[in-house]
Amino acid sequence: MSKKIAVLPGDGIGQEIVAEAVKVLDCLCDEFGLPIEMESGLIGGAAYDEHATPLPAETIALSKDSDAILLGAVGGYKWESLDISVRPEKGLLGIRAELELFSNLRPAILYPQLAAASTLREDVVSGLDLMIVRELTGGIYFGQPRGIRTLESGEREGFNTLVYAEYEIERIGRSAFEIAMKRDRRLTSVDKANVLESTELWREVMERVSKDYPEVELSHMYVDNAAMQLVRDPKQFDVMVTTNMFGDILSDCAAMLTGSIGMLPSASLDLNGKGMYEPIHGSAPDIAGQNIANPLATILSLSMMLRYSLDESSMAERIEHAVNQVLDSGLRTRDIYADGMQEVSCSQMGDAVVKAILSEQL
């Protein structure tokens, strides 16, 4: 029976990069019999323009009714002055919450072909393969109370709440330990337990969960040190697990180790492994519509989807081999361009991946 994918391109470069991932998916369906149906939906600013909400009920229904979701990106200058409750980002946060996609996997892998594109020395980053597991439906992103209030003095104050219930820490902990079991069995839990009670509890629960995973070596690190260690010696890490906001920040940092944020895919999973897949970069309004964005993070997100949600790891391998082959051949979008390489557009990069898939001998 064929499986259904909800395709939500969103805003900005989201439209361009998702179009390239869809080309790849079409190729796998037409040429290799992958049994997939796709249906598109609106999210973010694009949804706001049509329905005055960044997350229409139809998009929630479509996503719930699908086996997996492919998302581009949300946001852009056009919607920046809207009230925060209807800004494009609320669409993304809303769908994460609606589907309880609490476990966000953000792998940072350095493709050897791109070692020179990193701003860090080649010996620091070559061979990098780390996984950031970010809690995605709790913490300060969702904590109540929140808002901007006016004090008696007439001055305004903005406030947010960093709150984590034990069950939220426990389930993201288990998710991270399970991943560590399939890798090098080293897990670093990142917190700010020296200052924040919510992460003092985080640390305690991680210790407790670790009792069920004696083969995994658990260590703890404060987030400021983790940021420093990521750029000092990123290869010391295997799997990192952290809160929603720390994970947001550290994953951008880890992305740059790999040469470009345009290369990093992600998976956001619920308890049953149903997931939404998206590049970790945003909608990049400054380059939207110019056909110069890098579609590889989205194409690689598709391969994560095939592996994690659709049980089609051989199809995922086809994509990963093809991306390697394209990079070997010297094709580069602008963000990963280096001397001696051939610069290509977003759509040319997508075409090249399709061509490489068709020429593979697997």
Active site residues: 141, 192, 224, 248, 252
d(CA 140, CA 303) in angstroms, rounded, equals: 30
Tell me which of Mg ion, ligand IPM, none is bound by residue 353, counting a contact when its beta carbon lies within the kind-specific cut-off of 5 to 8 angstroms.
none
Angle at 28 between CA 325 and CA 4, to 5 degrees: 135
280 is an interface residue for ligand IPM by CB under 6 A: yes
Burial of 84 (0-12, 13-18, 19+ CB in 10 A): exposed
Tell me which of Mg ion, ligand IPM, none is bound by residue 92, counting a contact when its beta carbon lies within the kind-specific cut-off of 5 to 8 angstroms.
ligand IPM
Which single residue brings its beta carbon nearest to Mg ion? Answer: 248
Please state, in angstroms and as integers, the Cα–Cα distance from residue 280 to each residue in 142, 232, 314, 348, following that order. 19, 22, 24, 21
Please state, in angstroms and as integers, the Cα–Cα distance from residue 31 to each residue in 55, 246, 353, 354, 358, following that order. 34, 42, 14, 11, 8
Q: Which residues bind Mg ion (CB under 5 A)?
A: 248
Spatial contact of 322 and 27, defined as CB atoms under 8 Å apart: no
Question: Could you identify the residue written with the tokens 């550290």?
Answer: 250
d(CA 313, CA 309) in angstroms, rounded, equals: 10
Of 262, 282, 285, 350, the one binding ligand IPM by CB under 6 A = 282
Q: How far is the CB of 89 from Mg ion (least distance, A)?
A: 10
d(CA 97, CA 19) in angstroms, rounded, equals: 26
Tell me which of ligand IPM, Mg ion, none is bound by residue 270, counting a contact when its beta carbon lies within the kind-specific cut-off of 5 to 8 angstroms.
none
Q: How far is the CB of 209 from Mg ion (least distance, A)?
A: 26
Within positions 217 to 256, which residues make up the interface with ligand IPM, using CB under 6 A?
248
Which single residue brings its beta carbon nearest to ligand IPM? Answer: 89
Within positions 73 to 92, which residues make up the interface with ligand IPM, using CB under 6 A?
75, 89, 92
Closer residue to ligand IPM, CB minimum distance, 11 or 312: 11
Q: How far is the CB of 139 from ligand IPM (least distance, A)?
A: 11
Question: Could you identify the residue written with the tokens 């890798």?
Answer: 183
Binding mask 21-60 for ligand IPM (x = CB under 6 A): ----------------------------------------
Q: How far is the CB of 248 from Mg ion (least distance, A)?
A: 4
Q: How far is the CB of 314 from ligand IPM (least distance, A)?
A: 29
Total site size for ligand IPM, rule CB under 6 A: 7
Q: At 10, which helix (H) or strand (E)?
A: strand 3-10
Tell me which of Mg ion, ligand IPM, none is bound by residue 89, counting a contact when its beta carbon lies within the kind-specific cut-off of 5 to 8 angstroms.
ligand IPM
d(CA 123, CA 233) in angstroms, rounded, equals: 10
Coil, strand or helix at 268: strand
Tell me which of ligand IPM, Mg ion, none is bound by residue 98, counting a contact when its beta carbon lies within the kind-specific cut-off of 5 to 8 angstroms.
none
Residues that bind ligand IPM (CB under 6 A): 75, 89, 92-93, 248, 280, 282
